[in-house]
Amino acid sequence: MFTPPASPLPPSADGADEKQEYFPPIIAPEAVKKATGRRTRWMVVLTPLALILITLSTRLLPHPAAFDVLSGSPLPWNGLSHWSLHKRHPANDEGAASTVSEAISATATSLLLGSGAPGVLLATSTSLAATAQPVPTIPTNPTLPDPFPAAFNSDITQNYASMTCYRFFSNMTSSASFKLCRPFSILLQTSNDFIDAQSNLEDLNTLVWATCNPPLGFDACRSNMEWFANALPTACAADVEDESKIASSTLRALQAYEPMYKTACESDPSSNTYCYVNAAHNSNPSDQYFYQLPLGISVPKTSTPSCSACTKSVMNVYANAYAENDALQKTYPAAQVLADGACGEGYAPTVAAASADAAPYLHPHAMLLVILLLTVFTLS
């Protein structure tokens, strides 16, 4: 049976149908102004504090431990958990693909990876044999190995982005103006023979002497390395733009020739021995890390320096070179804080802050945190 709909409500007194409508409570303008003011005050106070704290942490520490938790990286320095040879698509430039080999030996690959990898190889290369050997005194005129250890192991075949970059490396490494300078900064991270000598202090002592006594003289070699450093970005423009490891690490090493020459030749006057050979002899590899700061390689935060006079001298050299070396501007401040914390305030010289014209470095995770803070306080 058909059921009729319910009867309509009786009309209201004025004859209009009643409607159930919801009207939000009216907020007084004064209350709105107070809430806005509170949010503004919180933003004004907390945002600068957050920026200051995060910026300080990222400036003073090469890789803040807090961000390791976010990223899940097992290694808190240099981002070494995932590194591999960066393969690029070679430009179709005068048959580059057929001329330049795409393969390189496994050992040379590990040496040419740039920031991070060489530091780990060197700082962990101190063997028990080296620690058991007496540290030899600085020689007078030792017999040098023939042939002398070559940078890049005389093998620079690489998947370059252009033939001009390949030719630059080939010409540079074969020229007398490069080979006769025996650049410590480049041999330290690209020569198998130099790295192998870390376990034989007599051999290492001879090689360090050779880097400190180049046949062309220090002044000429400094000029030569400056010329190569100025020419590399043009010859390897595509590789530099692509952040090629070999181009980037070699450019840093060329720019670091002078400060690293000076630290390699630092000696311990009490024993008439090279400081670097002493560092290789030390069972604690921490001191070796300090030599690599101009290469863009940070001292791990877990390192414990020996607080020797040698490391103090090394830090003095790098403090003096800080203003003119981009890599030191990124690695020295954290190393200075670590050294002062372990060896006492004033052990390593403090340095002036980076130029105000330069934008402060802010870690991507830090930027995300700032955005989240701003969003929370804006919506609160």
Q: What percent of the chain has pLDDT over 70?
A: 57
Q: At what angle do helices 245-255 and 163-174 cross, to 10 degrees?
A: 40
Q: Let me know: does 330 contact 362? Beta carbons within 8 Å.
A: no
How is 190-203 classified by DSSP, letter by letter? H-HHHHHGGG-HHH
Q: Is the pLDDT of residue 355 over 60?
A: no
Ramachandran angles phi, psi of 330, nearest 5°: -95, -30
Ramachandran angles phi, psi of 115, nearest 5°: -60, 135
Of 9-13, 209-213, 251-255, minimum mean pLDDT range? 9-13
CA atoms of 41 and 66, how far apart (whole Å): 28
What is the residue extent of each domain of the chain? Answer: 30-67+363-380, 84-276
Q: How much is the pTM?
A: 0.62
Q: Let me know: does 141 contact 71? Beta carbons within 8 Å.
A: no
Q: Which residue has the tokens 């240099």?
A: 78
Encode pLDDT of 32-80 as tens digits: 566 666 666 666 666 666 666 655 554 444 444 333 333 333 322 232 2
- Sequence-separated (6 or more) residues with CB below 8 Å from residue 194: 149, 187, 188, 207
What pLDDT was estimated at residue 47? 65
What Rg, from alpha-carbon coordinates, does the chain have?
31
Report residue 72 as tokens: 């899940």
Q: What one-character DSSP code corresponds to residue 322?
A: G
Q: What one-character DSSP code corresponds to residue 234?
A: H
